[in-house]
Structure 1
């Protein structure tokens, strides 16, 4: 199957973090994504290309934009593209001669996706930063962690990926849908501060209603409640419990062999510390896998906490094909699933410049210009 986005042509100006993941999502579902790399560029974090999983499914054109004819060649590719994605600080693409005004002049239907931390405007727009800084400004980081402890960075899921890559992918596809009606492209300004704030919508509502406190580890979903937390087992491994609703809470207690009378006020925060201590004592009596035999698959809202090696081997993930092996590297499979437009298995990531001449030929650049770019040291 060709994938739901087959026929979509995307140019990715290679950067770090969220923009590559957004491009991966598009490529996973059939879009033809061309990575514009720097000649000789190393893979993410300096690792060999096969480990740069977020670069999978794309061909790479390595071109030195400082050399004669290079920017014009990229603009010729832009003229044939539907989408351009870039993740540089505001103004960088303009200085390269590839800003949105220039690109939209060449391709009026182009969707120009811009991914930054702070956004294209605002007093912090030109400052350096990373995921942890962007989610701190949005209010999200303050909420993550245990009571009495410092905020805990949730890897780079909330800023780079949830509030960044996913937001950019949504914005690009929304702009493409609008372009079908208007015939005009536009710029998508996706900022991780905006995205992380957007992911926090429910919590801002709860806070306004007086149902959420600023103090970490004291609320329903932040490890405050006994029925929504992780517990250490006898073997040092952990389980995760999320039995919020009354019927699920009752199921959890019954399967743990606990008397519901001990937990009369499950929604009373004042009772949570003692209830949590009771559950912790029970879970500490058996190994994680022993508790799986009792609880997994039930309505107790239970799961084992798996590590990176265990997760791909779990029977549920195996049955759904949640993970695949590409180029010897186990990694998540494309998602979501479609009933007809099944995503193909992505190709392994390639080194910068692996496909330079093939990309140029395939996108309509003639042999004489390719030779000129080669002679100029641009490719």
Structure 2
């Protein structure tokens, strides 16, 4: 096993990132880079992003530092460009054309720093008929076909998968992959570039395997009738006697045999290969699960290859024995939260700092990055504390200079 390096905190230690404050997938992508060791400086706007969340609780700003710069002043863009001079990556999530109007678009940034990777996080992308239109995760996954696949009832509405599929899987993770790939290219060839990470593109890319199955005749273009969308009686969720649920994923024959044996329905097990008997099989599985509590069924399937797990809530998940043993959730500054991922044998990432408070790190960043303009009068604006509430603002999304990819407010 590789011995962890004693001083490097994550594989991206030494990489400098400027994040122009936004909401949703942009901040999450920057958090992931920060978790992996990058020095992420978040450029907050006066008054904050308008989410209505206590900034001390906004975990997507952990491991970062914050400065406040008003990009609508004469001095603001120049200050950001001074940061750009010293950065490897910049991340922004404005609507197309807004960064250019503010004086921090890709052309001017790359002119100042030709090796810069300029990452653009949007919902619709930088081009196309909808590029400047407001939107949310649910709209992006709707038009890509992803939302239409999700849900157990072919005649009912799709199931909304929170904002995980679009914002964070199709958005944040693709932006991170893109800027890191471009950073590798910049370090090899000496020239940076613009990364256009659109949630619609990333989400469509996530459906590649399903498109292959569709083309091969192994997937019907309707939800709730396929192997992985709730249509299969041995790949889905079932209620227990106490109102809990169990998740079943016994796809392979050997796992299915273990599942039916432990569930006590071996007499109907041959129905696995008879589609006409799937409703009968589903009813038998549902009936059996209703005879015991979630805890009882968890004990029955514990340590087996039946591919069955209890459905836990967000508050319950950290106490699951496997997740607790791996420290999948950790506590930092009194706040329980998901640990950085993935894991590295030589340069393990750490939780170094709690959420960055707007403007709290201006002096430190000015010194560390050698950007004295950060502390000049007029270049920065005093931070305005955000309201200490835990619910999102209901302000309308899509202000003129707000993010292209709209979360509850912009």
Shorter-chain TM-score bucket reads over 0.9
Counterpart check, 1:300 vs 2:303: no
Match of 1:223 among 210, 213, 230: 230
Once the two structures are superposed, residues 190-223 of structure 1 have per-residue CA deviations (whole angstroms, 9 ceiling, x without a partner) of 0000011011011111111111112211110111
The 10-residue stretch of structure 1 (338-347 or 196-205) with the greater mean CA deviation from structure 2: 338-347
Change (3 A) 1:190 1:375: closer
Given the alignment, which residue of 98, 106, 110 partners 2:112? 106
Indicate whether 1:167 and 2:170 are aligned.
no
Secondary structure of 2:292's aligned partner: coil
SS of the equivalent of 2:377 reads: helix
**Counterpart Cα distance in 2 of 1:268 and 1:258:** 16
Within the candidate set 193, 196, 202, 2:200 is matched to 193
The corresponding residue for 1:35 is: 42
C-alpha contact 1:67 1:377 (8 A) present in aligned 2 = no
8 Å contact from structure 1 (residues 218, 269) kept in 2: no
Out of 161, 164, 170, the residue aligned to residue 157 of structure 1 is 164
User: Is the counterpart of residue 52 in structure 1 residue 45 in structure 2?
Assistant: no
| TM-score calculated relative to the size of structure 2 | 0.89
In structure 1, the partner of 2:377 is: 374
Alignment of 1:149-298 (within 5 A): 149-259=156-266, 261-298=267-304
Residues 271 and 281 in structure 2, CA contact (< 8 A), matched pair in contact too: no
Partners of 2:335 and 2:379 lie apart in 1 by: 37
Please give the alpha-carbon distance, in whole angstroms, between the structure 1 residues aligned to 2:374 and 2:114: 25
CA contact (8 A) 1:232 1:280 kept: yes
Which string of whole-angstrom CA distances, capped at 9 and with x for unpartnered residues, describes residues 232-284 of structure 1? Answer: 0011000101000000000001111222x412141333222110100000010
- Residue of 129, 140, 159 corresponding to 1:134: 140
Is contact 2:362–2:374 with CA below 8 Å preserved after alignment?
no
1:82 counterpart (83, 88, 94): 88
CA–CA distance in structure 2, aligned partners of residues 111 and 308 of structure 1: 35
Supply the distance in 2 between the matched residues of 1:99 and 1:268 (Cα, whole angstroms): 58
Distance 1:65 1:229 in 2: 49
* Aligned residue among 19, 22, 31 for 2:29: 22
**How far is the alpha carbon of 1:352 from its aligned partner?**
1.1
| Structure 1: distance between partners of 2:103 and 2:378 | 22
Distance 2:342 2:61 in 1: 18
Q: Are the equivalent residues in 2 in contact too, given 1:50–1:327 (CA < 8 A)?
A: no
| Structure 1 equivalent of residue 100 of structure 2 | 94
Number of equivalent positions: 374
Where does structure 1 differ by over 3 angstroms across 4 or more consecutive aligned residues? 375-379
Shift of residue 59 of structure 1? 0.5
1-structure distance, mates of 2:290, 2:236: 14
Matched-pair contact (CA < 8 Å) for 2:256–2:306: yes
CA contact (8 A) 1:251 1:299 kept: yes
Greater helix share, structure number = 1
For 2:379 and 2:317, how far apart are their aligned partners in 1?
49
For 2:335 and 2:117, locate their aligned partners in 1 and report how far apart those are by CA, in whole Å: 33
Post-superposition offset of 1:370 = 4.6
SS in 2 for 1:105: helix
> For 1:125 and 1:268, how far apart are their aligned partners in 2?
47
Q: Secondary structure at the match of 2:285?
A: helix
Contact 2:55-2:356 within 8 A present in 1 as well? yes
Unaligned runs of 5+ in 1: none
Name the CA distance, whole Å, in 2 between partners of 1:208 and 1:157: 26
Question: 5+ unaligned residues in a row in structure 2: which ranges?
Answer: 1-7, 383-410
Q: CA RMSD in A?
A: 1.4
1:204 is paired with a residue of what secondary structure?
helix
SS in structure 2 opposite 1:136?
Answer: helix
Superposition TM-score, scaled by structure 1 size: 0.96
In structure 2, the CA distance between the partners of 1:16 and 1:377, relative to structure 1 (3 Å rule), is closer
SS at match of 1:196: helix
Q: 1:82 to 1:377 in 2, by over 3 A?
A: closer
